[in-house]
A = this chain, B = another copy of it.
Amino acid sequence: MSVRPQNPALPILKSISYFRSLPARELARLATRCQTRALQPGQLLFEEGAPCTGLFMIATGHIDVRQVSYRGREQIFHTEGPGATLGEGPLFDGGGYIASAVASEPTTVLFLRRADLLDLCRRHPIVALRMLESLARRVRRFAEIIADLAFRPVSERLARYIDEAGKAQPGTRGAEVQLELTQAQLAARLGTVRELIARAFADLEREGIIARRGRRIVIRDPARLASIARGER
């Protein structure tokens, strides 16, 4: 009685912006070429320097892309969730992975081999254009990190983070923010160490700019927060 079983990869592929405008036939074909992989929290998807043989797409969960220095410091470059892709960089310039990818929660990813993808780009230039867009956004994001590290003190980076989280948080009234990250994770993302984050938080609280209860933050003085975020210290 059942209809022809649909490949489980199909709906995921559809959720990837690159492929959205492909004809159904092409998508179905693509789905047959995908492999799936499940990851536990903390598990490595790929490691900096390793050769890249294809593209990963996140079906569910989240992945941190980061480097770790020999001195033990961690820098998170970006975090990706469902519908995002990983490893386009090395895919196209032929080098090894630029950073390591680690699941931060139970995660499943799809994998598509490089040759399949290049072939697809040739037959459907729109796919290549979409990937150009995505890579361009990544360049922009990386440039922001560089500017943060080169120009802004830690306290300012944190203020920026909270400020943006405040704006991004949708439903709640603007003043309240639920942080998703521990201070250690925040530090890895902002390019510093845990202690400095703790102190910067304490300073903001002491000055009455924010109030905290655990990871729940109330922005008491949005104007002053924004002005610190802009570097007007």
Which residues in A have some Cβ–Cβ distance to B below 8 Å?
A: 67, 69-71, 73, 75, 77, 88-95, 98-99, 118, 121-123, 125-126, 128-129, 131-133, 135-140, 142-143, 145-147, 149-152, 191, 231
Q: Which residue of B lies closest to A95 (CB)?
A: B140
Give complex CA distance A73, B146 in Å.
Answer: 13
Closest beta carbon of chain B to A62's beta carbon, Å: 20
Query: Which residues of chain B come closer than 8 Å to A67, judged between CB atoms?
Result: 143, 146-147, 150-151
**A29 to B128 CA separation, bound complex (whole angstroms):** 23
Which of B91, B121, B128, B139 is A98 in contact with, Cβ under 8 Å?
B139
CA distance A71 to B156 in the complex (A): 13
Known: A123-B125, A139-B139. 14 other contacts (CB 8 A): A67-B146, A69-B152, A73-B150, A75-B151, A89-B139, A89-B143, A93-B136, A93-B140, A94-B133, A98-B143, A135-B136, A139-B142, A146-B191, A149-B150
The answer for the CA separation of A43 and B230 in the assembled complex, in Å, is 28
Q: How far is the CA of A75 from the CA of B146 in the complex (A)?
A: 9
Q: Are B147 and A75 in contact, with the CB atoms below 8 A? A: yes
Contact partners of A122 in chain B: CB under 8 A: 125-126, 129
Q: How far is the CB of A91 from chain B (nearest CB, A)?
A: 7
- How many copies the complex holds: the figure is 2
Name the residue on B nearest A126 (C-beta).
B122
Instruction: Give bound CA distance, A95 to B134, whole Å.
Output: 12
User: Is there an interface contact between A150 and B92, defined as CB atoms closer than 8 Å?
Assistant: no
**Which residue of B75, B88, B95, B143 is within 8 Å of A142 (Cβ)?**
B143
Contact between chains at A75 and B191 (CB < 8 Å): no
State whether B191 touches A149 (Cβ < 8 A): yes
Complex formed: what's the CA distance from A5 to B146 in Å?
Answer: 46
Q: Is there an interface contact between A128 and B135, defined as CB atoms closer than 8 Å?
A: no
Closest 7 CB pairs of A and B: A128-B128, A93-B136, A69-B151, A142-B142, A92-B136, A149-B149, A92-B132
Provide the residues of chain B in CB contact with A129, threshold 8 Å. 92, 118, 121-122, 128
**In the bound complex, what is the Cα–Cα distance between A3 and B221 (angstroms)?**
73
A231→B77 CA distance, assembly (Å): 21
